[in-house]
Amino acid sequence: EDLTVDETEPLTDLSPDEYVNTAFKDAFPIHYESYLRNMGNGRPPVSKFIPDYEPYLPILFAGFPFEQEYNTTRGHPYAVEDVLSIARIGDRSIGSCMTCKSSTVTPLLKEFGDDYWSANFRGDIVPRMEELAAVGASEELGEFGHVSIGCSDCHDPVTMELRITRPSLTHALARQGIDVTEATRNEMRTYVCAQCHVEYYFEPELEKVRFPWDYGTKPEEMLHYFETTAIEEGFDYDYIHAVSGAPILKAQHPEYEMWSYGSHGRAEVSCADCHMPFERRDDRRKISSHFWASPLENIETSCRTCHSDKTERYLIDRVGDIQERHLEAVHEAQDLTVEAHYFVNRMITAGAPDDKIEQAQQYVREGQWYTDIIAAENSDGFHNPQGSMDTLRMASDASNNAIKLAIEELSNLNVDLGELRTEIENVKEAVLNEEDPFEKHTHATNNFFPAQN
Amino acid sequence: EDLTVDETEPLTDLSPDEYVNTAFKDAFPIHYESYLRNMGNGRPPVSKFIPDYEPYLPILFAGFPFEQEYNTTRGHPYAVEDVLSIARIGDRSIGSCMTCKSSTVTPLLKEFGDDYWSANFRGDIVPRMEELAAVGASEELGEFGHVSIGCSDCHDPVTMELRITRPSLTHALARQGIDVTEATRNEMRTYVCAQCHVEYYFEPELEKVRFPWDYGTKPEEMLHYFETTAIEEGFDYDYIHAVSGAPILKAQHPEYEMWSYGSHGRAEVSCADCHMPFERRDDRRKISSHFWASPLENIETSCRTCHSDKTERYLIDRVGDIQERHLEAVHEAQDLTVEAHYFVNRMITAGAPDDKIEQAQQYVREGQWYTDIIAAENSDGFHNPQGSMDTLRMASDASNNAIKLAIEELSNLNVDLGELRTEIENVKEAVLNEEDPFEKHTHATNNFFPAQN
Amino acid sequence: MLMKRLKERFKDMNNKLLFFVLLGVLIGIIVYAGTVTAIKATDTGEFCSSCHVMGTVYEAFTQSPHARLDCNDCHAPTDNVVNKMAFKARAGIGHIYMNTIGASQIPDVLHATDDSVDVINQNCISCHQYTIDNVAHDSKGTCIDCHRHVPHGLGIFKTSDWHLKLNIDAAK
Ligand SMILES: [Ca+2]
Ligand SMILES: [Ca+2]
């Protein structure tokens, strides 16, 4: 019997609308078993605000919910749990926030139609999601694992073909002239991930999740989109920065975008090639691993399928080298961008001309975009070593432009730059020394640097 | 006959001191034939100062012989001809300038001993080189091809083993704890090139050619060497910059250094693997190509020996992508560094405090180092895409630091920054519009920006 | 033909029984080492690829310039018959054991052992003696340090049947 993915013959007895992960267990016990590994050690996520990670994020995000809580990731089955408990969700949060978390999104979209996106998260979406989650719970997946990112998000439940369930991707690719229904199997092995591991924003009309790819997927091309098409269509910014008053674009997890023009993306090595390598379970049967994690945990099956002439040690060292150089540059760009925000704050308090303030804010917007898009990418530079470094270079340049303009204006106003620099150090210290991650952002502004939002 | 380089049995009838390239013709006719291809189309080299290449180099090099003439390269047999005719050679030029050009260097070093290095180039070295060149000339190699970089520079004339003839490399590696006599054959296939394709300086005592590698071969590690050990040993700088008065380190062709921590260097792919692939000559016989040129001319034999799963088109496009991104960043870093020089010039003319000027000059020194070391590398980023971009990022940062400091001081002195920027544009225009490459540098300083050296 | 029937059995026989049958066959082959056809038959791509785990390498091999060789032109010593048979027996028993009783220990991705690499390299040299006499070709550890894709690395990381179907075994 031929189970070609290309043919659309039924393979399971499941309903075409099945969305519960546990419903797939009987038909695919070893895939389900592999999926269970995503439960990891069960420990809660860790704040990214601690000194070991990116201690100045609460400053960079000042004025946006991200200032409150931003954590390391966990496995896909935790996505619903984590979005429900994150402090970033407020009373006005919308349905779009569920889009990349739950397998109930397909039924929700069907039920709510275009009202799904802007529906109230806690008032409308969560209650209905919980009703849909009333069936199929299983202890081994925790409270919401059975409706967290799962089988039906990537597979047609009947034929098990890979499929795209998030209209945001289909729409964004279409605008690039790509018809996703024509995608090859190799491309689908990336596109299923690109439903979520991408930069997004909420378009203002219906608050739909959109991807800014009209001009390409490089950070500078996405910025161009935000500066032209997005503004024309009514989207100006995600938030006004509390320190600089600049209109900021929040950047999110551009794994697909950075991959797309990196060494492996150009070589058409798909996400699944590295993150879902073959694994042998249950004696001789090979399956695509459904444990999405660092491929460095599986170098033998992942990297060494292609790099069989290299040792595991060598590959770990190469990745380490690339990431170390990358992270140092990320931290330097973050430091400069933080500095830029405070210089602009001082321009405002010192009464610099409005047009100069606006110009400086525009530079900060740019600097923060380039810094954040790279800091938010989750491979620490590995997916695209040269491209990421180029973007960090642009980040430094833009933030330096803001600082240069500020120095000029502040000097004209006889502002004491020495004092300013000391106050910046003080603010950074205060953020660093605050023990409670949830309180860190409260130190980003103070009497010397009053909030601008 | 067995041509294995590992055996130390005599293979030729040549004298162990043979240095004339044509002398090898009889024993190795097809290698000689391959070597002849380096004569190329016979056209003279082109100035790098033209708008298509790096138009602002005459500013960056202002105050150093490099401002006068700097050309694209040609094949190894032209090295002597080109060094003899370059305008950079002056009355005080020294023997060290012959080091990487002629196969007579080995006999010259033997004859002159340690006096070779600082001997007068035109007065002592060239006449003796010409005497040594009296034998073996051949029309097909031009006037000096028979004593230009050739067989004896890389091979023992008797055994044809690869060998290191330039003590500078042996010395530099020894200081890193590497005994070059223990090198594997694979390493020798890189070391022979690393005799010349490296950053160098003349140590002040005997003016020997030295490589700054004590702390490693990354640009930041070489800079560290120049800021510590080199200064302790009496070497402070190559020149005082005519525009900024900064003590500048001239950076030269760090092919080996950039390769050493790039993707291919770390994978132990040697220079010869790409630049000297095996080629079939004379029907069935194979030799290592002795035509040193862009491997993009020989993708089939060079790259595709390893990357046989990729097409020629794909490889050309990948290299093109990497180089395009790289060159854009080079030009941006050069623009910023040029700007920095003029800002510092203005600090001087406006009478900024000495300590501030010195600090700014130090930043310019750093910015120029990072810019120049990458611009001087000849693969346009391919040998190390991430590392090169990282260095360009540091270049921007350092030059921006100079500019920021200058803006602060100039504003305090009520200097008109608008006027300054206009004057900078004027200077750049003047350099760009000057048709004669030899005259371009004369526009780098003027009444507004008086020379500082 | 014996081989044809054997191949059928590979697919549907009980693992343990299969192991002993094959072990017997192998011992038989060794005992009758003089039988040219048997040696030859167990050298071919068709034979080797009768095991599912050999699928990807077989696929790549058939598209390589070496497609007309037998696997064991590379994978077994060719210097003399005794060495060859000893290596084949050791490797063969290992493969069969792993494919049956020891199946749970089959690595997820196969890699040539150091022994294999040595043997293979020797075979490259013996076939291509002329080329390497002509120009010193031994600057790296092995031939495949440069010729990385001879013959299994032509960018074929999965067999073509994998590219077509969902794995029914896995599915059930
Ligand atoms: Ca965004
Ligand atoms: Ca130098």
> CA A238, CA A216: separation in Å to the nearest integer?
21
Q: How many CA atoms lie within 13 A of A311 on its CB side?
A: 6
Structure tokens at A220: 């500078």
Q: Which residues pair with B102 in a beta bridge?
A: B148
Q: What pLDDT is recorded for position B231?
A: 98
Interface of C with B (CB under 8 A): 130-131, 133-140, 146-149, 153-155
Cβ–Cβ contact B305 with A under 8 A: no
Whether C81 has a pLDDT exceeding 80, the answer reads no
Q: DSSP string of A176-227?
A: TT--GGG--HHHHHHHHHHTTSS--EE-TTT--EE---TT-SSHHHHHHHHH
| Model confidence band, residue B4 (pLDDT cutoffs 50, 70, 90) | very low
**Residue A130: CB partners within 8 Å, gap ≥ 6?**
none
Which residue spans within A305-370 are E strands per DSSP?
Answer: none
Q: What pLDDT is recorded for position C38?
A: 62
Inter-chain touch A332–B397, beta carbons under 8 Å = yes
Stretch B60-67: mean pLDDT: 97
**Residue B414: CB partners within 8 Å, gap ≥ 6?**
none
Output the CA angle B169-B175-B178, nearest 5 degrees: 75
Q: Which of B126, B129, B140, B196 is closest to B168 using CA atoms? A: B196
Q: Which of B282, B263, B290, B227 is closest to B386 using CA atoms? A: B263
* Percentage above 70 pLDDT, chain B: 98
Give me the residue from A390, A408, A412 closest to B389, CB to CB. Answer: A390
Residue B254 CA to ligand 2 centre (angstroms): 9
| Model confidence band, residue C29 (pLDDT cutoffs 50, 70, 90) | low
Name the minimum distance, in Å, from the CA of B385 to any CA of chain C: 22
Q: What pLDDT is recorded for position C4?
A: 47
Which residue spans within B269-310 are E strands per DSSP?
Answer: 278-281, 285-288
Residues of A in contact with B424 (CB under 8 A): none
In single-letter form, the type of residue at position B423 comes to: E
| Model confidence band, residue C165 (pLDDT cutoffs 50, 70, 90) | very low
B91, with CB counted inside 10 A (0-12, 13-18, 19+), is: exposed
Residue range A67-86, pLDDT digits in tens:
999 999 999 999 999 999 99
Whether A168 has a pLDDT exceeding 60, the answer reads yes
Inter-chain touch C135–B185, beta carbons under 8 Å = no
Where residue B445 falls (left for φ over 0; alpha for ψ -120 to 50; beta otherwise) is: beta
Residues of C in contact with B186 (CB under 8 A): 139-140
Three-state secondary structure string covering B169-222: HHHHHHHCCCCHHHCCHHHHHHHHHHCCCCCCEECCCCCCEECCCCCCCCHHHH
Whether A270 has a pLDDT exceeding 90, the answer reads yes
**Residue A247: CB partners within 8 Å, gap ≥ 6?**
A236, A237, A239, A240, A241, A361, A365
> CA B144, CA B74: separation in Å to the nearest integer?
14
Whether C39 has a pLDDT exceeding 80, the answer reads no
Residues present in chain B in total: 453
User: What's the Rg (C-alpha) of chain B?
Assistant: 23
Give me the residue from B336, B392, B411 closest to A411, CB to CB. Answer: B411
Residue carrying structure tokens 């601008």: A452
Residues of B in contact with A389 (CB under 8 A): 386, 389-390, 393
Whether C156 has a pLDDT exceeding 80, the answer reads no
Which residue spans within B82-175 are E strands per DSSP?
Answer: none
Whether A281 has a pLDDT exceeding 50, the answer reads yes
Rounded to the nearest integer, the mean pLDDT of chain C is 72
Better-predicted residue by pLDDT, C28 or B286 = B286
Residue A215 CA to ligand 1 centre (angstroms): 16
Whether B429 has a pLDDT exceeding 50, the answer reads yes
Cβ–Cβ contact B4 with C under 8 A: yes
H and E: helices and strands count for chain C: 11, 0
Stretch B439-444: mean pLDDT: 98
Pairing of β B278-281 and β B285-288: antiparallel
Inter-chain touch A3–C103, beta carbons under 8 Å = no
> CA A104, CA A144: separation in Å to the nearest integer?
11
Whether C13 has a pLDDT exceeding 80, the answer reads no
Residues of A in contact with C103 (CB under 8 A): 283-284
Which of C109, C116, C143, C159 to substitute to test the interface with A, most A CBs within 10 Å? C109
Rounded to the nearest integer, the mean pLDDT of chain A is 95
Residue range B362-412, pLDDT digits in tens:
999 999 999 999 999 999 999 999 999 999 999 999 999 999 999 999 999
In single-letter form, the type of residue at position C50 comes to: S
Where residue B73 falls (left for φ over 0; alpha for ψ -120 to 50; beta otherwise) is: beta
Residue range B78-91, pLDDT digits in tens:
999 999 999 999 99
Residue carrying structure tokens 């077989």: C58
Residues of C in contact with B310 (CB under 8 A): 155
> CA C17, CA C28: separation in Å to the nearest integer?
16
Residues of B in contact with C131 (CB under 8 A): 286
> CA A230, CA A423: separation in Å to the nearest integer?
36
Name the minimum distance, in Å, from the CA of C45 to any CA of chain B: 22
Rounded to the nearest integer, the mean pLDDT of chain B is 96
Selection from A310-314, C88-92, C95-99 with the highest mean pLDDT: A310-314
Residues present in chain C in total: 172
Contact at 8 Å (CB) between B154 and B191? no
Q: What pLDDT is recorded for position A1?
A: 29
Nearest CA in chain A to C110: A305
Nearest CA in chain B to A306: B309
* Percentage above 90 pLDDT, chain A: 92
Residue B120, phi then psi, degrees to nearest 5 = -70, 130
Q: Which ligand is nearest to the CA of B239?
A: 2
Pairing of β B247-248 and β A285-288: unpaired
- In angstroms, the Cα distances linking A43 to A340, A438, C55 are 37, 19, 41
Contact at 8 Å (CB) between B256 and B197? yes
> CA A252, CA A65: separation in Å to the nearest integer?
14
Q: What pLDDT is recorded for position C62?
A: 87
Residue A199 CA to ligand 1 centre (angstroms): 5
Inter-chain touch B392–A393, beta carbons under 8 Å = yes
| Model confidence band, residue C169 (pLDDT cutoffs 50, 70, 90) | very low
Q: How many CA atoms lie within 13 A of A101 on its CB side?
A: 20
Contact at 8 Å (CB) between B214 and B229? yes
> CA A162, CA A171: separation in Å to the nearest integer?
18
> CA B433, CA B338: separation in Å to the nearest integer?
17
> CA A321, CA B383: separation in Å to the nearest integer?
16
**Residue C146: CB partners within 8 Å, gap ≥ 6?**
B273, B305, B306, C140
In single-letter form, the type of residue at position B373 comes to: I
The conformation of residue B235, written as its DSSP 8-state character, comes to -
Whether C166 has a pLDDT exceeding 70, the answer reads no
Is the link from the previous residue into A353 a cis peptide, with omega within 30 of 0?
Answer: no
Contact at 8 Å (CB) between B396 and B335? no
3-state secondary structure at position A120: strand
Structure tokens at B312: 């020629």
Residue B391 CA to ligand 1 centre (angstroms): 29
> CA A400, CA B332: separation in Å to the nearest integer?
14
Residues of C in contact with A279 (CB under 8 A): 108
Q: Which residues pair with A279 in a beta bridge?
A: A287
Whether B52 has a pLDDT exceeding 60, the answer reads yes
Mean pLDDT lowest among A301-315, B101-115, B145-159, C68-82: C68-82
Residue carrying structure tokens 């069969």: C96
Residue A217 CA to ligand 1 centre (angstroms): 13
Q: Which of A87, A74, A217 is closest to A148 using CA atoms? A: A74
Residue B321, H or E segment:
helix B312-350
In single-letter form, the type of residue at position B271 comes to: C
| Model confidence band, residue C10 (pLDDT cutoffs 50, 70, 90) | very low
Residue range B169-225, pLDDT digits in tens:
999 999 999 999 999 999 999 999 999 999 999 999 999 999 999 999 999 999 999
Name the minimum distance, in Å, from the CA of C30 to any CA of chain B: 38
Structure tokens at A312: 């595991």
Whether B350 has a pLDDT exceeding 90, the answer reads yes
Q: How many CA atoms lie within 13 A of B433 on its CB side?
A: 7
Mean pLDDT lowest among A404-418, B107-121, B339-353, C85-99: C85-99
Inter-chain touch C136–B278, beta carbons under 8 Å = no
Structure tokens at B233: 């040993």
pTM for this one?
Answer: 0.92
In single-letter form, the type of residue at position A448 comes to: F
Residue A280, H or E segment:
strand A278-281
- In angstroms, the Cα distances linking B425 to B56, B365, B367, B443, B447 are 12, 22, 20, 12, 15
> CA A118, CA A204: separation in Å to the nearest integer?
10
* Percentage above 70 pLDDT, chain A: 97
Q: What pLDDT is recorded for position B90?
A: 96
Residues of A in contact with C55 (CB under 8 A): none
Structure tokens at B184: 């594997």
Whether C34 has a pLDDT exceeding 60, the answer reads no
Exposed e or buried b for every residue in B130-160, given b needs 16+ CB within 10 A? eebbeebeeeebbebbbbbbbbbbbbbbbbb
Q: Which residues pair with A281 in a beta bridge?
A: A285
Residue A281, phi then psi, degrees to nearest 5 = -120, 155
| Model confidence band, residue C57 (pLDDT cutoffs 50, 70, 90) | confident
